[in-house]
Amino acid sequence: MVSAVCIAFIHGSLRYGRQGILVLFGLCTVVGYGMENLSIATDFPFGFYHYTNLFHLPQIGRVPLRAIASKVVYDQGLKNVVVNA
């Protein structure tokens, strides 16, 4: 996961500049974390689910850091697809 975040950051900074990619990473992190917590607390918008701590991954609140990082990488890739379409 760390390599995917690094690749997304390098690619994004080459395409959008360092400030642009930092803003995108920040927005994706805040929105992704907020949506995950909202869904865990209220079952909206993703339905009922929860994360276990079976693998003892670091978490912020009830959301693993890995889930937040995957949203950042996914959103960076999605932005590239939309912009290049």
CB 38 within 8 A of CB 48: no
pLDDT at res. 85: 52
pLDDT at 82 over 80: no
User: How confident is the model over 4-26, as a mean pLDDT?
Assistant: 84
pTM (predicted TM-score):
0.69
Which pLDDT tens digit goes with each residue over 23-62? 888 888 888 888 888 988 898 888 888 888 887 888 888 8
